Homo-oligomer: A and B are copies of this chain.
Amino acid sequence: MGLFAEKFETLRDLYVNELRDLHSAEVQLTAALPKMAEAASSSQLKKALTTHLEQTRGHVRRLEQILNALDEKPSGKTCEAMEGLIAEGEGYIKASGDDSVRDAGLIGAAQRVEHYEIAGYGTARSLANRLGEKNAAELLQRTLEEEGDADHKLSEIAEGEVNPAAASSKAA
């Protein structure tokens, strides 16, 4: 969303706007994930973030494929919500203190990002179905499932490894 009021006459206008918002979000994420992976101490967490980077590049390509089929382009506008979400992640990248505690913070920030995308893809898939865009709805559903899987994987790493380690940090 930009500074100026936009006009949405049809569900298709909204659908294209949502696809562009997701595209901006995913592109921002491809730049942020390598920094988060580098800052992570847990090798499991590094691996999960690196795997998700590969998936995220695929998500960008799917969105471009969908926009292309609609004869539309990504807008070049920046998704402000994702900017804020990434700023939170960067706060943990810069933070000092116990490594496992920082990993736990990075996981929390990454899960907020995943949930942003889960909500966004849920909306976009609903709109695609309503507009009879079957192929797009399938692609969006596939991405939605991958975001959900990434979120669960992060929960597993938090519960199984990172939070227990952080709970036994020196001053706990």
Contact = CB atoms under 8 A, between A and B. Distances in A.
Interface size bucket, A side? 35 or more
A86 to B, nearest CB: 9
A105 B17 contact: yes
A146 interface: no
Contacts of A171: 9-10
Nearest to A17: B105
Contacts of A70: none
Contacts of A8: 92, 95-98, 101-102, 105
A44 interface: no
A159 interface: yes
A130 B167 contact: yes
Contacts of A164: 130
A132 to B, nearest CB: 9
Contacts of A158: 123, 126
The 5 closest A-B pairs by CB, nearest first: A1-B91, A84-B84, A81-B84, A115-B115, A115-B119
Given A8-B102, A80-B83, A80-B88, 20 more contacts: A1-B87, A1-B90, A5-B91, A5-B94, A8-B96, A9-B101, A9-B170, A10-B98, A10-B101, A11-B101, A11-B104, A13-B97, A81-B85, A84-B85, A111-B119, A115-B115, A115-B118, A122-B155, A123-B158, A126-B158
